[in-house]
Amino acid sequence: MKLSKIFLSYLVLLLGILFVIISLVSYQTLERTEMEHYRQSLKKAALLLSRQPDAALRAKEYGEILGARITLVAPDGRVIAESSETAQMENLARRPEVAEAMERGWGSAVRRSHALGRELLYVAKRLDDGSVLRLSVDIATVRQNFLAWWFKLVGLFLLFLVAGLAISYLLSRRIDREMGQIVEFVRGLGAKRYGYIEAGFSQEFETIAQQLSRLAKRLAKRDEKKRKFTRKLQALTRQQSELLSAIGHEFKNPVAVIRGYTQTLLEDPAIDEALRQRFLAKIDTAAERIDKMVDTLALAVRFESGESEPKRERFKLCEAAKVAAQMLESRHKGRVVRIECDGCEVEADRTMIELVLINLIDNALKYSDTDVEVRVQGCRVCVRDSGVGIEAEQIEKITQKFYRATPKSWENSMGLGLYIADYILRLHGATLEIRSEVGKGSEFCFALTSTPPE
C-alpha cells in the first residue's frame, strides 16, 4: 500500500472516530445545557407567577403564554388549579418535585407524567401560603430545540471533516508526486543518469532528496574517474600497440639487412675479402641503427611516463646549435648546415635542448636535398630547409608519436623525432612553431627564456 493511501486511510479512520466521539459528547453536553436552560427558564417563570395575585384563576392563560403546563398545589397535595384540562386531578403531595419544593422551597424533576403519559421537566416553587406552584414542559420540546443545535454543530463539524479530507487528498497527491520523483530519480541512478532532485513537501522528503543528490554527485565523480581510467588504459593499450607496430615495422629493414648479409657470409666462407668487409660494414651500420632506435624508443617512453625532468644550467644557445650541426654534418656526408648565430645565454637542460636541435636539423636534412639553415637570434632558434614541405592539414599531426608527413620511410626514422622535440620544449615552457609550404620547404622555430647575467 502506498504511503499516501496509508496516510489517507488512517486519517479517515481517525477523523471518523473523532466525529463519533465529538457527536456523542456534544449530544450529551447540549442535552444537559438545554435542560438546564429550560429549568432556569421555568424557575424565572415560576418566580414571576408567584407574584401574581390571580395566578390560580389565570393558570390556563399563563400556561398558553409561557408554553408550559402550570399547576397550583395546596399544602396537602390537592390540585387547586391546572392549565391542562386533560390532566387527571389527583393528590400530588408525593410527587418528587412537589415534595422537594415543600421541604426546600424549590424542586425539580424529570419524569414521566402519570396524567399525560409523556416525559416532562418539572420545576416547583413553594409559595408564602404553603402552596406549591409547579411548571412543566414536555421533554420532546426541549429535545427538539437542542437537537436543532446539535444538528447544526454536527453539520459544521462534517463541513470541516470534508474540508480536512479534501486537504488530505491533495496532500496525498503531493506525497505521491514527490515519491514518484524520488523513485524515478533512483531509477535514473541505476541507469547512470545523474542530476539533482528537489523535494519541499516536508523536511523528511527534503533530507532524502539532499542525500540522493549527494549520492548522485559521488556516483558521477566515481564514474568520471572510471571513464578517465578507462580512457587512460585504452590510451596505454593503444600506445603499446603503436609501439609494437612501430618496432615491428622499423626494425624489419635493419634486421633483414643483418640476416641477409650474415646468411651470405655463412653460406660462402670463401667470399672475396673486400666484399666480406663491405658486408660486415653493412651489418654494423644496421646494428647501429637498431641501437639508435632502441635509445629513441626508451627516451620516448621515459618522456611519456613523466620520468624525465630538466636539469637546468646556464649555457650559450649558439654553442648548442653548433654542436648539433657538427654532429649531423659528420653523419650526413656531403651535406652542409649553415649557422647564423647571434644568440643569448639561457638556463635550461643543455642535453635536452641539443637533442631538440639535433632532431630538427636531422629532420630538415632528411626531407630536403639542399643546405639547411639554422638561425639563432637572441633566444629564438629557427631551422629552415627547402625540401618537400608539409601539407597544411598535417602540420598539427607531425608532432604525434610515430607520425610521418610523407609515406617515405627512412631506415632510422620512427616518427618520434618531432614528438620528442615538442615534448622537451613544453617541459621548458616553450612552443614548437611550424610553418611550411608544399614544394618550398619548412621552418621550425622555438624561443627560450634568456638568463640575466650574474
pLDDT at 198: 74
Of 318 and 305, the structure prediction assigns the larger pLDDT to 318
Task: Give me the pLDDT at residue 245, please.
Answer: 67
Model confidence pLDDT, tens digit, residues 245-280? 666 656 666 777 788 878 888 888 788 888 888 888
Pairing of strands 337-343, 372-378: parallel
Angstrom distance (rounded) from CA 218 to CA 209: 14
Q: Using CA atoms, how far apart are residues 413 and 409, in angstroms rounded to an integer?
A: 7
> What pLDDT, on a 0 to 100 scale, did the predictor assign at position 262?
87
- The pLDDT assigned to 409 comes to 46
Other CB atoms within a 10 A radius of the CB of residue 415 amount to 20
CB atoms within 10 A of CB 357: 25
Distance CA 417, CA 411 (A): 13
- Helical H segments across 67-201, by residue range: 96-104, 139-190
Average pLDDT over residues 169-174: 78
For residue 119, what pLDDT is reported? 81
pLDDT band at 201; cut points 50, 70, 90: low
Asked if residue 3 has pLDDT above 70, the reply is no
Contact residues for 175 (Cβ-Cβ < 8 A; gap 6+): 3, 4, 7, 201
- Are the C-beta atoms of 71 and 79 separated by less than 8 Å? yes
pLDDT level of residue 411 (50, 70, 90 thresholds): very low
Provide mean pLDDT across the span 145-150.
70
Mean pLDDT across 7-28 = 74
Rounded Cα distance, 140 and 119, in Å? 8
Compute the average pLDDT of residues 218-244.
Answer: 78
Q: How far apart are the C-alpha atoms of 421 and 375, rounded to whole Å?
A: 17
Q: Do domains 3-83+90-144 and 313-447 have the same CATH topology?
A: no
User: Do the strands 345-348 and 313-316 form a parallel or antiparallel pair, or are they unpaired?
Assistant: antiparallel
Q: Which three cell numbers stand for residue 3?
A: 504511503
Is the pLDDT score of 1 beyond 60? no
User: What pLDDT, on a 0 to 100 scale, did the predictor assign at position 412?
Assistant: 47
Does the pLDDT at position 171 exceed 50?
A: yes
Distances in Å between the Cα of 32 and the Cα atoms of 27, 69, 101, 147 are 9, 21, 22, 12
Q: Where are the domains of the chain?
A: 3-83+90-144, 252-304, 313-447
User: Hey, which of 42-51, 96-105, 184-193 has the most confident mean pLDDT?
Assistant: 96-105
Task: Report, as an integer, the average pLDDT of 402-414.
Answer: 55
380 — pLDDT class (breaks 50, 70, 90): very high
Q: What is the reported pLDDT for 433?
A: 92
Q: Of residues 5 and 131, which shows the higher confidence score?
A: 131
How far apart, in whole angstroms, are the C-alpha atoms of residue 278 and residue 284?
A: 10
This prediction has a pTM of: 0.44
What CATH number has the domain spanning 313-447? 3.30.565.10
Which residue's C-alpha cell is 640476416?
Answer: 259
Domain 3-83+90-144 has CATH 3.40.190.80: no
pLDDT at 308 over 50: yes
Looking at the chain, the whole-number percentage of residues with pLDDT higher than 90 is 8
Q: Cα(147)–Cα(155) distance, rounded to whole angstroms? A: 12
The backbone torsions φ and ψ at residue 72, rounded to the nearest 5 degrees and listed phi first, read -110, 120
Phi/psi of residue 174, nearest 5 degrees? -65, -40
Closest CA to 63 of 74, 73, 71: 71
Segment 411-423 mean pLDDT: 73
If pLDDT is split at 50, 70 and 90, which confidence band does 177 have?
confident
| Least reliable range by pLDDT among 78-82, 95-99, 425-429 | 78-82
pLDDT reported for residue 420: 83
For the chain, give the mean pLDDT: 79
Per-residue pLDDT, 376 = 92
The residue whose grid cell reads 612501430 is 246
Average pLDDT over residues 226-250: 73
**What's residue 445's pLDDT?**
95
Q: What is the mean pLDDT of residues 378-396?
A: 87
Residue 374: per-residue pLDDT: 93
| Residue 381 predicted with pLDDT over 80 | yes
